[in-house]
Amino acid sequence: MNGRLIAVANGRLLGEITRDAKGRLRFTYDAAWRADDTAYPLSLSMPLTAAEHGHDRIEPWLWGLLPDNENVLARWARRFQVSARSAFSLLRATGQDCPGGVQFARAERAGRLLGAGPREVDWLTTANVETRLRTLRSDNSAWRLEEDVGQFSLAGAQAKTALLLESRRWGIPRGVTPTTHILKPPIPGFPGHCENEHICLAVAGALGIPVARSRVCRFGEETAIVVERYDRTKVGGRLARLHQEDLCQALGRSPLNKYESEGGPGCRDIGGAVRSYCNRPGEDLRTFVKAIALNRVLGGTDAHARNFSLLIGAAGNVRLAPLYDLASALPYPGHYAPRLKLAMKVGGEARLGYIRIRHWERFAAEVGLPSEEVLGICQSVAAEVPDRLADVVAAARSEGLDHPVVGRLHQTVTKQAKACVAGLRG
């Protein structure tokens, strides 16, 4: 089926995606957008130097905006009467609020996204949010309710919803108005995951790594981790979207291959992207090294290429985005630290307990930093984590976060940090 999908960036026409009778897609930049000195590309894999980009570039990039959750895709397909196998069709229905700075709409509906546009929000009570979280906890495909008008899409498999928070009120935005926060209920089988993720993000922040800000909130009887979107900001008192893409998208890879073990990007690839695209490559490379070193200490087994992103600003300003989706596997039974595997290998080794100095030296060569500098970062992270973690845990408990996972996380990560310090001594 033929069709058009219009791409809009903060009220301005960025380009359009067309689909031919064979289902092949093509993305074309708007000529005025390309001519603007402040313009940025839809993706670093689709530079502004070319007016058009073909199916093999745009189709996997669109899939990167959608959930890695077959149940969610099937639910959306039923509701909007489209194919669950067509990213183009799914985003025609849900693309008004996506990761990054671009909205997508059918050609006949794009007009309401161009220009400043009216502010449109359906406000919710605390009880409404509680009901939604309860429904989402029991049905991980219920990211929106059937009666909702405002739609959104986010990557990832975990159950979540996206809402607007303003003046302590929650709402479902539509039209040009963006969501500002992501709410995630506990993950079945991983009790205390909300507290786990919040504490791990706070530890990363305490180490000087830019992170998405989070807190654990109660809505009636329901708990959720609430994550502030770093791809949203205010300009002149009005909410605006910041553009970003994950590293699979930036490298032109399918989100199906997010894990290095399945052919996805590894540390060498991400290091290369940072060196090629970022305005401050040295600073961002060091941040990336810190993040990998921290995942090794935390037992963070899901730091794949889709959990690293790049913020893409005006006139080619590119930076490594704040860290997100960071959690530890160590507090959970059956997760034996030495045999846990990182999502991306460090110098050819993924198993936490088998990473040695020689692997970090190979890793340094892969990302393009001196081995002495990389080893220094790793030693500093491992040595600092116990104290930073103790401070974060104390703060969490003072805020009423008393889930048993908090104590187990403190104990297991502290033990792992000491093992990492010993291993880095030679």
- The SS3 assignment for 318 reads strand
Give CA separation, 264 vs 116, 257, 344, in Å. 39, 5, 9
Contact yes or no for 2/25 (Cβ under 8 A):
no
pLDDT range class, residue 65, cuts 50, 70, 90: very high
Is pLDDT of 228 > 70? yes
Domains of the chain with bracketed CATH: 3-113 (no CATH), 119-228 (3.30.200), 244-423 (1.10.1070)
User: What is the spatial distance between Cα 135 and Cα 121, in angstroms, rounded to a whole number?
Assistant: 21
Token readout for 33 is: 């957008």
Query: Strand order of the sheet with strand 119-124?
Result: 119-124, 169-175, 161-166, 181-184, 222-228, 214-219
* pLDDT tens digits along 235-254: 988 999 999 999 999 999 99
pLDDT (average), residues 140-157: 93
Cα–Cα distance, 252 to 236 (Å, whole number): 34
Measured distance CA(239)–CA(232) in Å, rounded: 7
Closest among 36, 12, 14, 27 to 62, alpha carbons compared: 27
CA separation, residue 348 to residues 35, 424, 426 (Å)? 44, 17, 18
Nearest to 58 by CA among 8, 100, 16: 16
How far is C-alpha 307 from the geometric centre of its chain's CA atoms? Answer: 5
Burial label, 418 (beta-carbon count in 10 A; 0-12, 13-18, 19+):
middle
State the average pLDDT over residues 322-345. 93
pLDDT digits (tens, 9 = 90+) for 106-117: 999 898 899 877
Instruction: For residue 118, name the pLDDT band (cuts at 50, 70, 90).
Output: confident
- Tell me: pLDDT of 386 over 80: yes
72 or 314: which leads in pLDDT = 72
β-pairing verdict for 181-184 and 161-166:
antiparallel
pTM value is: 0.96
The mean pLDDT of the chain is 96
Q: Which residue has the tokens 């596997």?
A: 329
Give per-residue pLDDT as tens, 2-57: 799 999 999 999 999 999 999 999 999 999 999 999 999 999 999 999 999 999 99
Measured in degrees and rounded to the nearest 5, phi and psi for residue 27 equal: -105, 135
DSSP letters of 355-387?
--HHHHHHHHHHHTS-HHHHHHHHHHHHHHHHH
Q: What is the pLDDT of residue 119?
A: 85
Whole-Å CA distances, 361 to 69, 143, 303: 37, 43, 20
The percent of residues in the chain predicted with pLDDT above 90, rounded, is 93
Residue 56 among the catalytic residues: no
pLDDT tens readout for residues 392-402: 999 999 999 99
Helix (H/G/I), strand (E/B), else coil: 398: helix
Pair 16, 7: CB distance under 8 Å: yes
pLDDT higher than 80, residue 351: yes
* Distance between CA atoms of residues 169 and 234, nearest Å: 17
264: CB partners within 8 A, 6+ apart: 248, 253, 257, 258, 304, 305
% pLDDT > 70, the chain: 100
Tokens describing residue 207: 């180490």
Q: Is pLDDT of 316 > 90?
A: no
Beta bridge partners of residue 183, listed in sequence order: 161, 226
Q: Are 424 and 356 in contact (CB under 8 A)?
A: no
Cβ 40 vs Cβ 59: under 8 Å: no
Task: Determine the pLDDT at residue 219.
Answer: 98
DSSP state letter for 321? P
Pair of tokens at residue 337? 């630290």
pLDDT of residue 272 exceeding 90, the answer is: yes
Average pLDDT, integer, range 349-367: 97
Quickly state the pLDDT bin for 1 (edges 50, 70, 90).
low
Q: Which of 20, 56, 302, 402 is catalytic?
A: 302
Tens digits of per-residue pLDDT, 165-196? 999 999 999 999 999 999 999 999 999 999 99
The pLDDT of residue 426: 64
Is residue 235 classed exposed, middle or buried when 0-12, 13-18 and 19+ CB atoms within 10 A define those classes? exposed
